Structure 1
Amino acid sequence: MSIHAELKMKFTKHFGDSKQPVSIFFAPGRVNLIGEYTDFNGGYVFPAAVSLGIWGLLRRRTDGVIQLHSDNAGSGAVIDLKQTLVCRQEDGWTNYPKGVIQYLVDQGLLLQGCDVFFSGNLPTGAGLSSSAALLILTAYMLQTTFGNSGLDRVAMAQLCRKVENEFIGVNCGIMDHFAIAMGHKHHAILLDCNTLTHEYIPLSLDNHSLVIMNTNKKRELTDSKYNERRQECDQALAIIRKHRGIEHLCQATMAEVEGLLEQPVLRKRARHVVSENQRVIDAVSLLRAGEVSAFGGLMIASHRSLQTDFEVSGLELDVLVEHALQVPGCIGARMTGAGFGGCAIALVENQALDKFMQQVRLGYQAVTGRIADFYPAIVADGVERGAIHEG
């Protein structure tokens, strides 16, 4: 049975039969190859959409009610479009589509009733942007079904970031939403988060594969120190601004970081941001020149900076990365996403993939007691209608 047929069967089992057609959509997750915590600091990032993701099925109703259900969560919500929607902790995952619905209505989109079914193979709380995928998927489904709200893909990413910032309460940057909306198969995106100018960079890895390594330690951004790190970056920027009128922390020089920030914690946070921004620029240059091994070295340097200066990795991510780097054929590894659990990525020779996953899984379990999952990353297109991704 195909994925589409299986999903439609689950949809019908939950919502019942109808003469109305069922439309299928897919939003990918994303990995960030390098450039962590630079997005909300006005710097560069280098993400790619991946074939793990979330499917959404939608069927029109004849009333003013939107019914939501998640196959993965086993729960849902019934939304009356006549009511103003607010974020409530007890509503859990449904706050994300609720926020998109409210913001699209505020944009003037004339929504109608529909049944919406979500199902995916993207692990939640793993640093692969499941929340951003759910936001973008909801926005794309509703816009496609009920008419254009005037938002192109970039504006849709901006709206979904606004939902996450204001409705959900997470001070995230634009990278995740942008990558999921704008992804391009076999390419990573060099994105300037200050201007949103971007360039697609072919991802040619010279007989190497990207492997996603899931610690299976979930983290919630609102429950982590993510917002605290953002506040620390803002404090560092405020100090540097007293001496030079920069707009974003990524515009600071390393001399300014070392010379103007007297508090050790703020100096460390800013040192990561400024050095990581330069690593993104260097990484793109190296990949364009075919220097894949040198790119792997930048991945390692990025993880060390996130580990010691930004302090967002944690035991599980550090153990995964260290064991990955001990396996012959692995030329680079780093955490990806916000940290505090979630996923890391590794750059591994194709012929060494099986041995790599076996050795790292055993070593990680011996230290942490957890079992890691591994997914060879297939770089995919952004959100789309009718996609089939079985990889």
Structure 2
Amino acid sequence: MKRTISFTTGKGSVNHNSRKFHATNIDPERSHLNIEYFNENIKDVYHELFDEALARYNEKQTRNDRRIDDYYEKILSGKQEKPFYEIVVQIGDKDNMGAKTEDGQLAGKILDEYMKGFQKRNPTLKVFSAYLHMDEATPHLHIDFIPYVTGSKRGLETRVSLKKALESLGFKGGTRSETERNQWYAHEKKQLSELMLNHGIEWEKKGTHEKHLSVLDFKKQERSKEVEELEKKKTELQSENQSYEEINENLKGQLSELDDEIRSMQNGMEKSKKEAESARKQADKYQKRMQELAPMVKDMEHMAAKFSDNPEQVLPEAGSIESGKSYREKKAKPLMEKIVKVLRSVYASYLDVSRKFDKLQLSYNRTVEKANNLSDRFHEIYTENQELKEIVRDYECVKAVLGKEKVSGIVQMEKQREQLLKEQKRAERRKQNREAR
């Protein structure tokens, strides 16, 4: 027995899948045969997957407009990624695998086995809603999942990304027909075909011409193919657009860092100017005080030395009323000692003020030099910032003229060329090292 395998993109109607309402093609009397595997609120799952990464991301932001309040709402309103994806898996069709027949029951059993291994095979596709429907014409699975990647260098460390989620599972895109999603589809079909073979059913791979299809079924299939092609094109455009967004984000990040550094430099310059002004005022104060003391301390050490000599050689003899010895011992010598003490104290104060002035003068000169260096660095960064802004403007002009797709293609080619050059240089170095040995 041979049967086809169908993997299609679903509409993602969780209420329909969980049978909160019944469509006209459903037999309610058979709904109890359905199997529910997962039925979680998508917002709760988003909190579980991304809250920690979101908190770390927001802590790093210096600008409020770059913070993210609700990651689910951001993805829902964005254009880069869908909040979740759905696939519908089916074996055969209503004519050869009708749900009411024994073959249909067997199809349901195989799909049940397939679903039980799905999450283990695809750990980066977080399933939050999954059902096996046995109450429609043909048994089939609805699997709703959130694709995510960890360790991301852009945006949140853990973020939504179908491309990266599939890459982490080993599916790397190549040509337009060999996208990550197409490779993954092929792999999952192979997994399902092996389960089918265990039950005696071979995988029938049909070509472009299919038999036993009614006109309506054929039209529906052709429309399905058109939708699938559009989905492929959409995925490719999203990938190209992501490259552009990465470049734009990098430029914006550099500009933001330069803006922050400029503000920091401005603050540093203001602080240095205030410190320099304070030092200048203090120096002026000490200089004024020194100018006041200068006449007083002129020849002060000489006077102190002179009056430190033997008082008998300096002081006159006592008068007739008082004996000379009494005059010198009781009046002259104590007076001279006080004069010498005062003179030396004033001179010491002068020296102390002079030292403080010299120290402040040195500090002032250093602060002025620091402010000048900050000013030079500020102008360098400001010039670099202006150049980056000019690059961004040029990039936007090129994108407007050539189109986002062509610009992204050129960027990718240049990245590949740079990588090839790096590999060639590494190979050349290894060759030179081998020859040297």
Q: TM-score range by the shorter chain?
A: under 0.3
Bigger relative CO (Cα 8 Å, ≥ 6 apart): 1
TM-score normalized with structure 1 length: 0.22
- Structure with bigger helix share is 2
- Structure with bigger strand share is 1
TM-score normalized with structure 2 length: 0.21
